[in-house]
Amino acid sequence: MSGAKGFDWPALMRVAFHGLGLNPAEFWALTPSEFLILLGPESGAAPLRRDAFEAHLARFPDTKDEDGHDRDG
């Protein structure tokens, strides 16, 4: 939700208003910790960073059978 330029406020407000059904006063009254609690538990592991993905791909490359179909390597 944050980046080099800060928070994506429109995305946060869409989640608050449409996803959680909050009104603006309720949203702005929340602390960041309270907002994160309302979003629910984290959903699994963090996504792979590019370097970790490339290491995984090198370890488990995609392979194709003689007909050109993907198969487990």
CB 37 within 8 A of CB 43: no
- For the entire predicted model, the pTM comes to 0.48
pLDDT of residue 15: 92
CA distances from 52 to 45, 49, 55, 62 (A): 13, 5, 5, 16
Average pLDDT, the chain: 82
Q: Which two tokens stand for residue 60?
A: 């488990």
Distance separating the N- and C-terminal Cα atoms of the chain: 36
Q: Alpha-carbon distance 1 to 49, whole Å?
A: 16
pLDDT of residue 2: 47
pLDDT higher at 4 or 22? 22
Tell me what percent of the residues of the chain surpass a pLDDT of 70.
81
